[in-house]
Copies of this chain bind each other. A is one copy, B any other.
Amino acid sequence: MVIAGIMTGTSVDAIDMAICEISNKGDRHMVSLCSFETRPFSDDTRELIMRALAGSASMEELCDLPFFLARDYAAVVRERSFSEPLSGVAIHGQTLWHHPPVSTWQAASGPALAALLSIPVIHDFRSADIALGGQGAPLVPVFDAATLVHPTVDRVALNVGGMANITILPRNASTVDVWAFDTGPGNVWIDAGIRSTFGKRYDTDGHIGRAGRVIPPMFQECTSFPYYNQDPPKSTGRELFSESEARRLITKYSHPSSPLEDVVTTMTEVTAWSVADHIKRYAPTTTEILVSGGGSQNSYLLERIGVLLREAGVEATIVVHEHWNAKEAMAFAYLGWRTINGLPGNLPRVTGASRAVVLGSIAKA
């Protein structure tokens, strides 16, 4: 079965589409990547998302947004390079609010997209888990469990998108042994630091972070959020680790006499610390970390995670995942395949839901 997975993360940087061939091989699921492409949002969609995330969208704009997203997704699917017919399109949608365990909001109209493409669309993957008392996140772990468990190596899958999350994959683990949670901010605060000092969108390869020094009181305040010490299951988002909070912290600790880089270095250290600290506490036997997401391209961030882990007695090789940029979209293609096949997609131990459940909804049009 060939399924397209479409992911748009909290960074609102682009529409990622991974087309995957998914099949059963014995009791294992095989997921192979046929193509991966990234397209920008159209300008009007991007503006609506930004207004929605800023809380300044009108009811009419909030009504329009899921249809604008469907139109943009449809264009990405139609213009795909991999031309074989698709059995389904699985979409994450654009998270506008995440309020576990009460509610979550991934905008994008499944029925509209299915109607535009005449292809079944699987959508709204987080709500069923939330309704069962779960965090609605993370959902990628079932994909990590299917594709990354190693017979002899204790692995961690680390994804650094807007937020950062880890999946703990003990050697030879079965799905129920897998654990996962958000560790805190990923790129969101680093990017906020970059934007407010250098006016760039992100820190290419960590050049700027590498050039500065940590501002100790800023680091201390940034790492004092109670979230870090909460026990999993837990998930977070831009509601807590917001850009406005980042701007507040940056303004508070920026001094005219200190180099602009220091703010970026500090934010990078905050992300590195929160990742390393969680691995130290919850997966101390880890020997291999597979990193995905935009943050996997920040070599300074990865170096700092390695150093902090070594200081904590965790000797782990940090490897960039083969499909570092496609992995989340691949995971949603796989989740869509599970839903089509009536298989649950959440791991109750991971999300905290009361039971495993078939995720999402299928629009056939």
Contact = CB atoms under 8 A, between A and B. Distances in A.
Interface string A191-211: 000000000000000000000
Interface string A93-133: 00011110011110001111111100001011001111110
Contacts of A128: 111-112, 114-115, 363, 365
B361 A110 contact: yes
A123 B62 contact: no
Nearest to A57: B59
Given A55-B59, A361-B361, A109 B97 contact: no
A67 B127 CA distance: 8
A59 to B, nearest CB: 5
Given A63-B96, A362-B361, A127 B103 contact: no
B131 A111 contact: yes
Given A52-B59, A362-B362, A365-B358, A124 B97 contact: no
Given A112-B127, A128-B115, A363-B360, A103 B67 contact: yes
A70 interface: yes
B132 A115 contact: yes
A87 to B, nearest CB: 16
A364 interface: yes
A149 to B, nearest CB: 27
Considering residues A52, A110, A339, A364, which has the most beta carbons from chain B within 10 angstroms of its beta carbon? A364
A116 B130 CA distance: 10
A55 to B, nearest CB: 5
A13 B308 CA distance: 59
Contacts of A59: 52, 55, 96-97, 105
Interface residues of A, number: 49
A329 B312 CA distance: 61
A84 interface: no
Contacts of A291: none
Contacts of A65: 103
Contact of A342 (B58, B98, B104, B364): B364
A161 to B, nearest CB: 20
Contacts of A364: 339, 342, 358, 362
A146 interface: no
A131 B62 contact: no
A64 interface: yes
11 contacts: A59-B105, A63-B98, A63-B99, A63-B103, A65-B103, A66-B127, A67-B130, A110-B127, A112-B127, A112-B128, A358-B364
Interface of A: 52, 55, 58-60, 62-67, 70, 96-99, 102-105, 109-116, 121, 123-124, 127-132, 239, 339, 342, 357-365
Given A67-B130, A111-B361, 4 more contacts: A62-B62, A62-B105, A67-B127, A357-B365
